[in-house]
Amino acid sequence: MSGQTMGNDGANMNMGSSEENFPVRKGGWYQRFEDGAEEGAGARDRSELAAQVFANLRVGESVLDVGCAEGYFCFDAMRRGAGHVVGLDKKSSRIEAAVYMQKFKTQDVDFINQNFMEIDPANLGSFDYVICLNVIHHIGDTVAMVGKLMSVAKRYLVLEIPDLTELAARTTLGRWGRIFSLLPIRYQPPVMVLGQNKSIYIAPKAMESMLKLRHGPRIKNIKITPTYHSRKMSRYLLVASLKEK
Ligand SMILES: C[S@@+](CC[C@H](N)C(=O)[O-])C[C@H]1O[C@@H](n2cnc3c(N)ncnc32)[C@H](O)[C@@H]1O
């Protein structure tokens, strides 16, 4: 289904081809593009992270990006020589923006507008490289989400996750956030459960333990490195190299 875009109802999404279709989104785009085509001043530069994410990608490999937003990493994977690339996001406005950006690229990405948690992995197939960046903290059932990602991953699973320093910056935890981030705990702060933001903060060691506990026979190696998010908040990149099923 190369270059096709599937909506929630499974129908192809035809975005047209003129400038009038520029997809404006409340809050702006999440990702910034080299040509400045994105909308909104808050869009993030993801170029440095992309080099970290795709450090092990081989030419011709297939890539699945879960929570792809405007498709920055999908296009970047193509640029690095990936074969079949699929970007999936549950928000139609994000997929509309990704389809818009597709017009400026020479290679086709398949974009799917669907909730990953509702997808049957058997229909999706499996991919050499599965990336899921800044999504897991929005999903209530971390174990189920990681299990599903593992079920479609062949060679690598790459996750970006907010560190507990982010929790510290967003709440009054202060320097305790740094101490908590060293502990193997999965911490769901009541202030966020009760308040505005239901994000789940998972310490790197907790993520690593969970992966090894649940998927030990498939894990060859796990590498965790910090990533930059903002002056006050850090995140981490977890790269799990996998034994094929
Ligand atoms: C914070 S943005 C991160 C975008 C991109 N991965 C990046 O790091 O640049 C999270 C994205 O994940 C999408 N998302 C969240 N839950 C999802 C789910 N269950 N299935 C598919 N997409 C999801 C959101 O719509 C949003 O576009």
Over the chain (245 residues), what is each successive 10-residue block's mean pLDDT?
47 41 73 78 86 97 97 96 97 93 89 96 96 92 94 98 71 63 59 50 86 96 88 85 90
- 142 in a domain, yes or no? yes
Position 175 scores a pLDDT of: 63
- 95 in a domain, yes or no? yes
User: Cα–Cα distance between 36 and 41 in angstroms, integer?
Assistant: 10
- The CATH number covering residue 66 comes to 3.40.50.150
- Note down the domain range covering 46: 41-162+202-242
For residue 113, give the 3-state DSSP assignment.
strand
Q: Give the nearest ligand 1 atom to 73 CA.
A: 9
- Count H helices, E strands: the chain? 9, 10
Helix, strand, coil tally for the chain in percent (to 5)? 35, 25, 45
111 lines ligand 1 (CB under 6 A): no
The domain tally of the chain equals: 1
91 lines ligand 1 (CB under 6 A): yes
User: Cα–Cα distance between 234 and 79 in angstroms, integer?
Assistant: 27
45 lines ligand 1 (CB under 6 A): no
CA of 23 to the centre of ligand 1 (A): 17
137 lines ligand 1 (CB under 6 A): no
Q: Exposed (0-12), middle (13-18) or buried (19+): which is 22, by Cβ within 10 Å?
A: exposed
Query: With b meaning 16 or more CB within 10 Å and e meaning fewer, what string describes 205-228?
Result: ebbbebbeeebeebbeeeeeeebe
